[in-house]
Structure 1
Amino acid sequence: MIKYHPSKQLMQKHIMGELPAGLSVAIAAHIELCDTCSKEFELLEAQQASVTFEEPCEENDSFELDFMIDDITQLSMFDQVVSHEPDIFEYEDKRVQLPRAIAALKLGSFMNAGKVSRARFELDEGPLRSSLLHIKPGGEIPEHTHTGFELTLLLDGTFEDESGQYVPGDFIMLDGRHNHSPRTKDGCLCFTLVDNALHFNKGLSKLLNPIGKLIY
């Protein structure tokens, strides 16, 4: 069962269009995977719509709204229903149906480091980096903390760290207050979003810290 969810404040900002693209993609994908948040999101959307349409319009706003409605009513309408074909991502010997928000993004090539592979999504978001992360069975990311924030949305498989075990749909937000070492017995696939380099705490992985800004 999914235990980790985006906050109500984040979902509200998503509705208002106030979040960067990568974070909005993660929230939309989680909502598609999580029945609880899907229902909560529908309620928040309805509340926001009620507030928006009950607010009195200024004269200029009303003028622009009339133009918008005219443009919409003049559009050619089609009654043909186009079915949605599930987007399947294949990795190792698995086939995973990706959430539509993630499947719509353009993905770069995978880079491999041992049992960990990462491919970045082609989103121009300044310091934010959105990626598809694959950890092979028995793989582990060395213990680290965060110089910014790290969001992980688990899409397939399971992994665990010092805080517990995670299942597909879990939406995990971490920052500099957290140290962890994710590891997986059977392998996993994740959508990740970071805004700064990881900081490794132990062993040879600490050698990566000086160039962390170049590889995050």
Structure 2
Amino acid sequence: MIKHHPSDALLAQYASAALPASLNVAVAIHVDMCPCCKAKVAAIEAKNAKAIFTQPDTHFEQDDEIENSSLMLEAIMMDESVDDVYDVKPKQVTINKQNYQLPRALSRIAHSKFMQMGKLSRSRIALEDGPLRSSLFHIAAGGEIPEHTHTGFELTLLLDGEFSDETGDYVAGDFMWLDGRHDHTPITKNGCLCYTVVSSALHFNKGLSKLLNPIGNFIY
């Protein structure tokens, strides 16, 4: 069962289309997977709509403005052009001979080939989002990421499989937001695929893992 969710503030920003693209994708995926957050978003959207449509109407007080509005509506109604309608076809990726079906929100967004380093594999998602970098991140069975903290923030949305760290066990749909206050060592028994968004490189901070800091950008 999903135990970790976006904050109410993040859901409100999502419902108001106020998030950067990479974070918007993450929340969209989680909402598709989580009935609880889907209901929250629906409630926020209904509240937003009510607030808009119950505002005092001050834009159409003049007769000429009413006429212009009527002409505009007539033009819209007579427009026979339509947006293209398409089916969202399931899209799969294969990593280390294991197949994963990508969520609907990622089905039409390109991603790079997977780069592999030991049991870790990363594919960059093609989103131009300033300093934020989003990726598909795979940890093979028995793999782990050495203990690290974050020089910025790291959002991890578990798409498939499982992993655990010092704070608990995670399943598909769990949504985790970490920053410099958190140290953790993700490890998976059976393997996992995640969607990640980071704003800066990881920092390895324990023992020999400090030697990995020069390759922190592999994950960033």
- TM-score band, normalised by shorter chain: 0.7 to 0.9
Matched with 2:196 is 192
User: Which one of the candidate residues 113, 138, 146 is aligned to 2:142?
Assistant: 138
User: Where do residues 1-216 of structure 1 align in structure 2 (5 Å cutoff)?
Assistant: 1-59=1-59, 69=73, 72-76=76-80, 83-210=87-214, 212=216, 216=220
- Pick closer, same or farther for the CA change 1:89–1:64 going to 2, 3 Å: farther
Which range is displaced more, 132-141 or 197-206? 197-206
Gaps of 5+ in 1: none
Cα deviation, 1:144-165, whole Å, max 9, x if unaligned, reads 0011110000000000000111
- Pick closer, same or farther for the CA change 1:72–1:120 going to 2, 3 Å: farther
Gaps of 5+ in 2: none
Which range is displaced more, 175-184 or 204-213? 204-213
Question: How many percent identity over aligned positions?
Answer: 51
Q: CA deviation at 1:213?
A: 5.4
Cα deviation, 1:100-152, whole Å, max 9, x if unaligned, reads 11222110121111000001111111210100001000000000001111000
Letter in 2 for 1:126: G
Q: CA deviation at 1:8?
A: 1.2
**Conservation of the 8 A alpha-carbon contact between 1:33 and 1:99:** no
**Conservation of the 8 A alpha-carbon contact between 2:89 and 2:107:** no
Give the distance between the partners of 1:17 and 1:150, measured in 2 at CA.
Answer: 21
| TM-score normalised over the length of structure 1 | 0.88
Letter in 1 for 2:185: S
Secondary structure of the structure 2 residue equivalent to 1:76: coil
- The structure number with the bigger radius of gyration is 2
Give the distance between the partners of 1:62 and 1:171, measured in 2 at CA.
Answer: 48
- Pick closer, same or farther for the CA change 1:197–1:51 going to 2, 3 Å: same
Secondary structure of the structure 2 residue equivalent to 1:189: strand
Letter in 1 for 2:176: I
Secondary structure of the structure 2 residue equivalent to 1:119: strand
Give the distance between the partners of 1:65 and 1:215, measured in 2 at CA.
Answer: 52
**Conservation of the 8 A alpha-carbon contact between 2:149 and 2:184:** yes
Letter in 2 for 1:5: H
| TM-score normalised over the length of structure 2 | 0.86
Q: CA deviation at 1:62?
A: 8.9
Letter in 2 for 1:176: G
- Pick closer, same or farther for the CA change 1:76–1:33 going to 2, 3 Å: same
Give the distance between the partners of 1:101 and 1:62, measured in 2 at CA.
Answer: 40
Q: CA deviation at 1:210?
A: 4.8
